[in-house]
Structure 1
Amino acid sequence: MIYNSIIDTIGNTPMIRLNKLAKDIKGEVLVKVEYFNPGNSMKDRMAVKMVEDAEKAGVLKPGGTIIEGTSGNTGMGLALAAVAKGYKCIFTMADKQSKEKIDILKAVGAEVIVCPTNVSPEDPRSYYSVAKKLNRDIPNSFYPNQYDNLSNTAAHYETTGPEIWKDTDGKITHYAAGVGTGGSMCGTAKYLKEQNPNVVTVGIDTYGSVFKKYKETGIFDEKEVYPYLTEGIGEDILPKNVDFDMIDHFVKVTDKDSAVMTRRLAREEGLFVGWSCGSAVHGALEWAKENLKEGDQMVIILPDHGTRYLGKVYNDEWMRNHGFLEDRTFSTARDIISQRNGAYTLVSSLKSDSVRDAIGLMNKTSVSQIPVMENGEVVGSLTDNKLLAKIIDNPSLKDAKVADVMEDSMHFVALDSTLDVLSSMVEKEKAVLVRDAQDQIHIITKHDILEAFTK
């Protein structure tokens, strides 16, 4: 068959059975391998859909510039569409993205602007904000906004869902995918559930992302958002393409488990895939162990190719430096809290408590910093040195409420954060918080980290 352009080859990617990795799972586990798309990722599907819908709406005109914030794969899909259709491209990316992704985008003619990761989405330096500003400043430019552009979801509703249904002869019972922008998860899920409302959907999230907690509680808790390494899944925003009604369950996966599973997919199944593919498979299989039955059929989306991660998860030195290889023992937050003897009780103050009582509690328990709680959630913190400075400056504050003097909350970290990651995240004068498997909150201080390093 002869195609008119490279973008006409998008879709109809193969479905492959997992053999070794799923040998202990009841039922059948299949993966849809999206690196067979020309841009080596599933983002090709929605990138072209966003461009063509913008053309139809008259938003994107001949000679225009496509501007987008991307983790790399959407940029590649947009770049292929731009090459085929004659547009320019400018992409903004967070600095945690791999060098390979940046180099690939430059190779297909795109301009790439790298922005800091650890800033809020509203910060003018974030890759979201920079892309929006460029769109305002550059005439005849189009900002697809993959997060809120519903053409993203539509692309998967129109292509990925029907392909899976056809290739499984309608026998699929479970669908699992990583959730980032939400398009591939929710568009595909919508189609599958329309064919069979009993299809169960499992979204894979990462620690440091908002999705799982928001799905289960309806609470968007910015204080539980923290940096993570895995690329392509999780968010610190709620994209319009994430339709939580289409996601029955969420599973969170650590950076380490994701990276290790990514390498196992290559070595044990011959699937040279990207980092978020490891997240999807690890999370889906963990869920399947407890929930899949004989006769069930689960399909997992594998979003992209391993070439994007040669300098990271496929690099032994990088893996060792992050404590992800088994030949290097690296203590984690989990190890620190597991070594605490006896029943653990978090020392904390209520937002409505008096400052006098909070000081008494800190003195009684010999702690220098405590979280401040309200309705079971962490809303702030107190540290003795800053509290002392405030009271010296205004002695009447000792009779005020904690709410009047508290500082910002300590950051939450993932349970399997290694000591090097923990030490980099402990602020100059603050500890960090972590939730254990029973959802109990623990505090980890510099002293805890130093003690762990000496063991």
Structure 2
Amino acid sequence: MDQHIAEAIGRPDLIRLDDRLICLRFESMKVASALAAVRHLLDTGVVRRGDTLLDSSSGIYAHALALACHRHGMRCHIVGSTTVDHTLRVQLALLGATLEQMEPCSDLKLDQKRRVERIHEILAEHPEYHWMRQYHDDIHYLGYRAVAEQIRRSTGEERLTIVGGVGSGASTGALARYLREDSPDVGLVGVQPFGSVTFGAEHVADPEIIIAGIGSSIPFGNVGHASYDTLHWISFDAALAGSVDLLRRHAVFAGLSTGAGYLAARWERSRAPERTVLFIAADTGHRYVDSVYARHREAAAVDSLAPLPVTSPAELALPWSRMCWNRAAGAEPVSARQCDQPHFVGGDHELDPVPGAQLGEQP
């Protein structure tokens, strides 16, 4: 029996949508990483019960950290994006978290920059606060070991490809790392929005939106580039089509990043008939009722969509591009070789160690 609601929220469900397509569905994915990170900090004596944990968030991580602090008797201080909505503000208040929300801003890069500046101001005023550095500290990998073990138990000997948003690198990178301990040929497909700097798409703007949570306008320190075999850049419109189809076809009501992951997963499954493809549903669809699901009549048929194959970030184009990354450690892929068949070469690569956070890095 769970001792706190956070433990239940952080544990995902595995749903087999067909014989080779699995959905790893979270109510709120970052709860798993926040819980494990806070527990580790307490166990190692870095923080004590009653200390204040600090971080910046556009919403989901704020809720996750507030829950973890509630579970372990910590104080929580969040510098929130303009995107934090009323529902979350009320929950944070009742959970005892302090929220400083940025003034409205249409430029997400400027919003992140202002949050970074405020984090440093707070640390100067309160050096006793512990900065969680969700975008830089690989402590946030720890919570996904149990998820990887759950996947391994449920899928057995199936050859797996994991598909999910890159984001800070913690969820997809961690799952690949832990699953590859036993099965080095586990494939990892990262999903990015156009405009994200992480894999060099900052020069291509999506006229609708940068999909929050799977990309960034600033560099993230805990993305292990060498973990990824293939990348998909997916626009808002294409992700909307994926989200709508996922609900219609499989009754899974999930967020916009899940629609993007589902679209990429369907494509990868079609290219590798010997593999089972598992995609991550990081959160539910409630935040997207008006912006996505109410526009279901605008959704393109997913079977009519296909990615543009590219060999360099310079070739990226809306609405959907796909590139073989080949577990390259830097900002460019190792080569432009095909990654369709064989799909992944697995054991020919070493795992990329995730860079740890350094003092003074930006969130």
Q: Deviations over 1:72-93 (max 9, x none)?
A: 2221111111112222222223
Task: Tell me which residue corresponds to 2:16.
Answer: 17
Task: Tell me which residue corresponds to 2:131.
Answer: 143
Task: Tell me which residue corresponds to 1:164.
Answer: 151
Task: Tell me which residue corresponds to 1:415.
Answer: 318
Task: Tell me which residue corresponds to 2:258.
Answer: 277
2:26 maps to a residue whose letter is: E
> Which residue among 263, 274, 281 is the counterpart of 2:244?
263
Work out whether residues 59 and 81 of structure 2, in 8 Å CA contact, stay in contact via their aligned partners in 1. Answer: no
Question: Tell me, what secondary structure is at the counterpart of 1:212?
Answer: coil
Work out whether residues 195 and 204 of structure 2, in 8 Å CA contact, stay in contact via their aligned partners in 1. Answer: yes
User: C-alpha root-mean-square deviation of aligned residues, in Å?
Assistant: 3.1
2:114 maps to a residue whose letter is: S
Q: How does 1:22-421 map to 2 (within 5 A)?
A: 28-35=20-27, 41-96=28-83, 98-115=85-102, 116=105, 118=107, 120=109, 125-156=113-144, 158-213=145-200, 223=203, 228-289=209-270, 291-293=271-273, 295-314=274-293, 316=294, 319=295, 325-326=297-298, 415-416=318-319
State how far apart, in whole Å, the 1-side matches of 2:224 and 2:47 are. 27
2:139 maps to a residue whose letter is: S
Work out whether residues 66 and 90 of structure 1, in 8 Å CA contact, stay in contact via their aligned partners in 2. Answer: yes
Change (3 A) 1:255 1:189: same
State how far apart, in whole Å, the 2-side matches of 1:327 and 1:265 are. 12
Question: Tell me, what secondary structure is at the counterpart of 2:32?
Answer: helix
- 1:185 Cα deviation (Å)? 0.7
Task: Tell me which residue corresponds to 1:399.
Answer: none
Question: Tell me, what secondary structure is at the counterpart of 2:217?
Answer: coil
State how far apart, in whole Å, the 1-side matches of 2:197 and 2:113 are. 21
- 1:254 Cα deviation (Å)? 0.5
- 1:70 Cα deviation (Å)? 1.4
Question: Tell me, what secondary structure is at the counterpart of 1:308?
Answer: helix
Work out whether residues 96 and 117 of structure 1, in 8 Å CA contact, stay in contact via their aligned partners in 2. Answer: no
Question: Tell me, what secondary structure is at the counterpart of 2:279?
Answer: strand
State how far apart, in whole Å, the 2-side matches of 1:377 and 1:276 are. 21
- Between structure 1 and structure 2, the one with the greater Rg is 1
State how far apart, in whole Å, the 2-side matches of 1:96 and 1:124 are. 11
Work out whether residues 253 and 279 of structure 1, in 8 Å CA contact, stay in contact via their aligned partners in 2. Answer: yes
- Size of the aligned set, in residue pairs, is 306
Task: Tell me which residue corresponds to 1:362.
Answer: none
State how far apart, in whole Å, the 1-side matches of 2:283 and 2:74 are. 24
Work out whether residues 206 and 235 of structure 2, in 8 Å CA contact, stay in contact via their aligned partners in 1. Answer: no
Q: Deviations over 1:248-274 (max 9, x none)?
A: 110111011112322332232121111
Work out whether residues 208 and 224 of structure 1, in 8 Å CA contact, stay in contact via their aligned partners in 2. Answer: yes
Task: Tell me which residue corresponds to 2:347.
Answer: none
Change (3 A) 1:135 1:159: farther
State how far apart, in whole Å, the 2-side matches of 1:260 and 1:248 are. 25
Work out whether residues 206 and 236 of structure 2, in 8 Å CA contact, stay in contact via their aligned partners in 1. Answer: no
- 1:183 Cα deviation (Å)? 0.4
Q: Deviations over 1:211-242 (max 9, x none)?
A: 333xxxxxxx7555778342211112332321
State how far apart, in whole Å, the 1-side matches of 2:279 and 2:116 are. 29
Task: Tell me which residue corresponds to 1:406.
Answer: none
State how far apart, in whole Å, the 2-side matches of 1:262 and 1:109 are. 33
- Normalising by structure 1, report the TM-score: 0.60
1:299 maps to a residue whose letter is: L
Change (3 A) 1:10 1:307: closer
- 1:33 Cα deviation (Å)? 0.8
State how far apart, in whole Å, the 2-side matches of 1:146 and 1:282 are. 27
Question: Tell me, what secondary structure is at the counterpart of 1:133?
Answer: helix
State how far apart, in whole Å, the 2-side matches of 1:136 and 1:299 are. 43
Change (3 A) 1:238 1:139: closer
1:129 maps to a residue whose letter is: E
1:32 maps to a residue whose letter is: L
- Structure 1 portions without partners, runs of 5+: 20-26, 36-40, 214-220, 329-375, 379-411, 418-455
- 1:62 Cα deviation (Å)? 2.9
State how far apart, in whole Å, the 2-side matches of 1:182 and 1:88 are. 26
Work out whether residues 193 and 199 of structure 1, in 8 Å CA contact, stay in contact via their aligned partners in 2. Answer: yes
State how far apart, in whole Å, the 2-side matches of 1:308 and 1:163 are. 27
Between the two proteins, what is the percent identity of the paired residues?
25
State how far apart, in whole Å, the 2-side matches of 1:111 and 1:229 are. 27
- Structure 2 portions without partners, runs of 5+: 301-311, 321-363
State how far apart, in whole Å, the 2-side matches of 1:124 and 1:327 are. 30
Work out whether residues 124 and 130 of structure 1, in 8 Å CA contact, stay in contact via their aligned partners in 2. Answer: no
